[in-house]
Every structure is written in structure tokens, then in C-alpha cells.
């Protein structure tokens, strides 16, 4: 084999080897890119599924929370509406009770005392029957108001008894005790006048929210 033939053989071999190398390198790059893309797609798919799962979980919790809030809102509105009606009704009852007390203050007629006593009982029943809808602060003030009305009633009964009581010197006895009882009734009236105004103010604030 001549030198020229040897050089041709080596050249052909190198060319042949070079072409295969290019093909192998090309295939390796394509396969690497393919695997990388598949791995990335798999990761993205898995990540997306996890995100969807988390999203679905929070959406469910959000809907449950919204439902609970709507239910609570509905219950609060119903409660507020009932409380609004109750406070208006109670205020009318209290004003009527005060009106009867004021009439007794102007003129302590014995015949008026039983109806005033009955009105106090009706007021107390109205308050106790609706205890769950009355704020604790208001309930305490209402009980104090009824106490003042009862004291006023007792004072008026006492005043009537004094004026009817016989004695050795009825004018002298009646004058002293009558003045004392009237003064006590006046203080009681001032107390219930002040208290009912306070209750009216707190009722207005409660209704306004």
C-alpha cells in the first residue's frame, strides 16, 4: 500500500468517525433536552396539582366561612329586629307606668293606687318575659326603676293611711307625717324621673346600634 493510499484511508476513517461523533453528540443533546423537558413538565404538573388541591381546600373553607358569616348575619339581624321591637314596646309600657305615677303625685286618690300597682306588675312581667333580649346593663336599670315605682306606690299608700288615721290630735300628727311622706315621695319621684330619662337614652343608643 502506498503512502497516498494510507493517507486516504486515515482521512476516510476520521471523516467516518467525525460524522458518527456529530450524530452521537446531536442525539445526546436532543435526548438530554427531551428528558429535561419531561422532568420539568412532570414537576410542573405535580406542582399544579398540589396548587389546585390547596386552592380547592381554601376555596371550600372560604365558602364554609362565608356561609357561617351569612348565617350569623341573618341571626343578628333577626335578633336586632326583635330587640328593636321589644325596646319600643318596653318604652311605651314604662312611659304609661310613669304617667300613672305622675297622676298619683298630683293627686293621691286611693282608687288610683290599685291600677298603678297592677301597671307595675305588668311592667315587671314584660321585662322578665323578654329577659334574653334585654342587655344586662338595661335590665339592671329597669329593675331599679321598678323598685323606685314600688317605693313611690308605698309612699302614696302611706300618705293615704296617714290622712285617714284617727288620733287624739290628728291634725298635728297628720301634718308632720304627711310632710315627711310627701318629701320622701318627692325624692322617689325625682329618682324615677332621672332614671327613666337615662333608660330612654340607653334605649336610643341600643336601637341606633
Please, is 87 exposed, middle or buried when counting C-beta atoms within 10 Å of its C-beta (0-12, 13-18, 19+)?
buried
- Residue 27's pLDDT is 47
CB contact at 8 A, 112 and 145: no
Cα separation, 15 vs 198, in Å, equals: 109
- pTM to 2 decimal places: 0.57
Confidence at residue 153, expressed as pLDDT on a 0 to 100 scale: 92
State residue 31's pLDDT score: 53
Tell me what pLDDT residue 33 has. 65
C-alpha cell at 39: 422532568
Task: Report the chain (209 residues): mean pLDDT per 10 consecutive residues.
Answer: 55 51 52 62 67 71 64 55 87 92 87 91 92 89 93 87 63 70 90 91 80
3-state secondary structure 76-145: HHHHHHHHHHHHHHHHHHHHHHHHHHHHHHHCCCHHHHHHHHHHHHHHHHHHHHCHHHCCHHHHHHHHHH
Enumerate residues 6+ apart whose C-beta is below 8 A from 83.
Answer: 133, 206
Q: What is the structure's pLDDT at 146?
A: 93
Per-residue exposure over 133-161, b if at least 16 CB sit within 10 Å of its own CB, e if not = bbeeebeebbeebbebbbbbbbbbbbbbe
How high is the pLDDT of residue 137?
87
Amino acid at each position: 500500500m502506498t503512502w497516498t493510499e494510507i493517507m486516504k484511508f486515515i482521512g476516510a476513517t476520521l471523516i467516518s468517525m467525525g460524522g458518527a461523533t456529530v450524530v452521537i453528540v446531536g442525539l445526546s443533546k436532543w435526548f438530554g433536552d427531551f428528558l429535561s423537558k419531561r422532568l420539568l413538565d412532570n414537576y410542573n404538573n405535580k406542582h399544579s396539582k398540589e396548587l389546585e388541591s390547596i386552592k380547592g381546600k381554601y376555596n371550600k373553607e372560604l365558602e364554609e366561612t362565608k356561609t357561617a358569616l351569612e348565617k350569623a348575619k341573618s341571626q343578628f339581624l333577626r335578633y336586632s329586629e326583635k330587640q328593636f321591637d321589644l325596646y319600643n314596646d318596653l318604652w311605651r309600657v314604662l312611659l304609661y307606668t310613669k304617667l300613672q305615677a305622675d297622676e298619683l303625685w298630683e293627686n293621691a286618690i286611693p282608687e288610683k293606687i290599685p291600677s298603678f300597682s297592677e301597671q307595675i306588675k305588668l311592667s315587671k312581667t314584660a321585662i322578665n318575659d323578654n329577659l334574653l333580649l334585654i342587655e344586662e346593663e338595661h335590665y339592671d336599670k329597669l329593675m331599679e326603676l321598678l323598685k323606685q315605682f314600688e317605693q313611690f306606690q308605698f309612699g302614696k299608700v302611706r300618705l293615704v293611711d296617714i290622712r285617714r288615721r284617727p288620733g287624739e290630735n290628728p291634725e298635728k300628727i297628720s301634718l308632720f307625717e304627711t310632710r315627711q311622706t310627701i318629701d320622701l315621695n318627692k325624692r322617689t319621684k325625682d329618682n324615677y324621673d332621672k332614671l327613666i330619662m337615662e333608660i330612654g337614652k340607653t334605649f336610643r343608643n341600643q336601637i341606633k346600634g
